[in-house]
Every structure is written in C-alpha cells, then in structure tokens.
Amino acid sequence: LDLHTTEFRSTTIARNLHAPFLEYGLDVPFTIDSGTLDGALEIDLPEGEYFPVYRGTIKARDAGFTIDDAPSSFTGVDMDLVFAEDRMYLHNTTGKYGAIPLKASGDMDLNPVWGEYRISAQTTAGTKAMPFLRTMRARPPPYPLTAVLHGTVHVNGPMEFPVLSGAAHAEPNEIAGLAEDDAEQAVQETPGAVAAYDRVPFTAASTTYVYDTASEVLELHGIRLEPVGGGAVTGGGSIWVSPCAEQDPTATDVRLTGTDLPADDVLARYAPAAGQLNGARVGRLNADISIRGAAIAPGIDVAFETPEAKGALRGGSGRLSLNRQRVSLSATADQFDLNARIPVKYPPLSVLRQAWTREAAAAAARPEVVGCEMDARLRALDVMALTTGGE
C-alpha cells in the first residue's frame, strides 16, 4: 500500500486452500460451499480507481457453490479461473448442476455493478426426465414421463438478472430391467421410441427456450414432438414462472398444432377394443391445442378434425375443453352430433402445491365426476355395425 498515491497491490498464493475463502477476495454472485483452491492471484488498485484489477490463475477442484435464487446447487466442479483485469474466464470447467452433468466455458465481469455473464454450457451425459425436473424444482407431471435429456444453456446479460437460453432434446433411452411404469413400458415395447408420456411413445422430442430472470418468463420456441406412428406436434408459447403467477389467469399461454397424428394407434393403447369396431376408424387427426391460464393449473382447449375417418366417424370434427370446473366435448360427424358437459371437482390447490412426487401429483390431478349432461343426435347411424365381431 503506497500511502502517498493510495495505490494498493497484493499477491495471494493458495495451496490446497479451502475454497469458500475465495469470497473474501472477490465479490462473486454465488456462495461457495466446498472444494479446494490452488494458484496465485494478484490484485492491484491503481490511483484514482474504485475497482481493482485482477491477474492470475486459480484452479478449483471438487468445488460446490450455489447461485443466488437458483433452484439447485453445483457440485463436484473442477475449473480453472483465469483473471485478466476486470474479467474472470472459465476454462476446463466440468461438474454437476443438481442431477445434470455439464461442461462450461466463457467469462464474466468482476464488477457486480455493471458486470455481465457470457457463459455457455453443454450436458456431458443424458439426464432422466424426473431427476431433471427435481433439479429445476419443477413439480412432476400427473402421468408417467420417461426421457433422457441432453441440451445446452447460454447465460448472458447483467449479473443481477441474466438471461438463459438454449435447447433441449431427447436421445435414445435404454430401459434396463423391468419397466417401472406405463411410460417406460411404452419405450421398451416400441422400436425407435426415445421418450413417452403415460402410454404414448415418441420418436423425437425437442424445444428451444429463453428464460429472463428479471421478468421470470420462460419462452418456449420450436417445440416438436413426433409420436410413434407418424405426425408431429409443433408450437411454442410462454409461461410466467414467478410464485405470483400461480393463480394469474394470464400466466400460461402455449399454443400447439398437431398434424397427421396417429389417433387409432394412440386410442388402441388405452382402449384395445376400440380397434375391433367394425368399419369405424379415426385415421389421421389434426388438432389446434391451446394451454392457457394460471401457471399451477392451466386450462386445455383442443379443436380437432379427422379428415380420414371412416364409418360412423366419417367427417368428424369437434372441440374438447378441460379445466378445473368441467370437461366439455362437442363433436360432429356425418352420422351424429354430440355435446357433453361433465362437471368435475378437483382437490384443493393446496394439495397440488405440495405434490412433489409423481404419486402425489397424480392424486392432485384426479378429479371427482359430480354430474353429466349429454345431448346426442343420430342420423342413419348403424348401431349394430359398431358392435365388435359383427358384420
């Protein structure tokens, strides 16, 4: 320390130093919990400056740290931190974020007032869907889900409120041993399947995303799901993931389009007897799907048409609506019109908020049917032809 010029210079040499001590020399936006440090760091504060200049290299091994407000922690991280004036570069960085194995590179500014991130990371191995959801502190879906996910994430923007963007996709999913649920069984029994939701297997699943931590809005782009049997579901939308959005009716707005979906194949997985109905076939199904409403329990609206339908279902089209108050179905075909309204009662939202296992999520999403209203009009419909095994 030069008392005449107020210049300051220090050099710190670390050998197997307890990693949390790094926070005493740097104002970093994360809390270091464990690990060791080796290397040398020089800190200079020139005359008239308010922020120091850093130089040197520090090797962190088996480090653990937590970023403020992040849903999970980093563990087992090995990285070389290279300091060049007001920036810190990440070299040879590997570790795990929750259950997700990663490698990363990039740099970040050291001045927390105006600093920014410029970091990219890629998965080094697949992560199963359920551990991935737990890592992101997301509630599990009410029905079985299986997939092995790979992806990338780019962290850019202000250190206080960075923007995360990237892509994720499912890769071949080997289910060893006995399947634990319907989704795993669907993947095991279906050649080419890489993922499944409940009993429906998919040959491909992918999306890109942007998450702005300032607005807490997750934007999904390029969603693509390809079910076994052909066709695709594509689309995108936005989800406000703030705790304030749980019951905000504008929090979720996702729109999907299903084209040439294999309706008969899917129907056969849930109602095998439906495939034996004489002459009645759905064929390919097209649908416009809207998922809108509160983040904790959005409503679903599906407008569909079946241009290839045969028999009693020929000329079919309609709309299906599901929410926490009722299930509504209106359908029409050449030989019938159907309107049905089924009032339902779900468990309180407090039950859904505590549903952190799939079993609990399934129970919270299981409604009680409290009534049924139906209006059907038939036009020269051959009822006997719909019986199984008849002519």
Predicted confidence (pLDDT) per residue in 68-127, tens digit: 777 889 999 999 999 998 899 999 999 999 999 999 999 999 887 788 999 999 999 999
| Per-residue pLDDT at 250 | 94
Identify whether the C-beta of residue 53 lies closer than 8 Å to the C-beta of residue 44.
yes
Domain co-membership, 46 together with 143: no
pLDDT (tens digit, 0 to 9) for every residue of the chain, 391 residues total?
455 556 677 787 889 888 888 877 777 777 888 999 999 988 888 777 777 888 999 999 999 998 877 788 999 999 999 999 889 999 999 999 999 999 999 999 988 778 899 999 999 999 999 999 999 888 899 899 999 999 999 999 998 888 999 999 999 888 877 788 999 999 999 999 999 999 999 999 999 999 998 999 999 999 999 999 999 999 999 999 888 888 899 999 999 999 999 999 998 898 887 665 666 788 999 999 999 999 989 999 999 999 998 887 889 999 999 999 999 999 999 888 999 999 999 999 899 889 988 889 999 999 999 999 999 998 877 666 555 544 4
| Dihedral of alpha carbons 256, 259, 264, 269, sign | negative
Q: Give the model's pLDDT for residue 342.
A: 96
Is the domain of 244 the same as that of 326? yes
Domain match, 215 and 162 both: yes
| Same domain, residue pair 135 and 97 | no
Question: Cα 310–315–316 angle (5° rounding)?
Answer: 95
Taking the C-alpha atoms of residue 241 and residue 298, their distance in angstroms, rounded to an integer, is 13
DSSP 292-343: EE-TTS-EEEEEEEETT-BGGGTTEEEEEEE-SSEEEEEEEETTEEEEEEEE
Kindly state whether residues 5 and 52 are assigned to the same domain.
yes
Which domain-ending residue is among 118, 135, 162? Answer: 118
Q: Which of 118, 141, 160 is the last residue of a domain?
A: 118
In this predicted structure, what is the pLDDT of residue 387?
A: 59
pLDDT of residue 390: 44
pLDDT at 367: 92
Q: Which domain holds residue 168?
A: 126-390
Q: Are residues 132 and 35 in the same domain?
A: no
pLDDT at 274: 66
Q: 93 with 154, same domain?
A: no
Q: Is the pTM of this model over 0.75?
A: yes
Same-domain pairing of 149 and 242: yes
- Which of 71, 96, 118 marks a domain boundary? 118
In three-state secondary structure terms, 265 is helix
pLDDT at 391: 43
Q: What is the count of structural domains for the chain?
A: 2
Which pLDDT value is given to residue 185? 93
Same domain, yes or no, for 135 and 103?
no
245 and 177 share a domain?
yes
Q: Cα(222)–Cα(231) distance, rounded to whole angstroms?
A: 15
Using CB atoms within 10 Å of the CB of residue 351, give its burial: 0 to 12 exposed, 13 to 18 middle, 19+ buried.
middle
Task: Report pLDDT for 294.
Answer: 92
Per-chain mean pLDDT for the chain: 89
211, 294: one domain: yes
Query: Rounded CA gap, 353 and 347, in Å?
Result: 11
Whether residues 80 and 150 fall in one domain: no
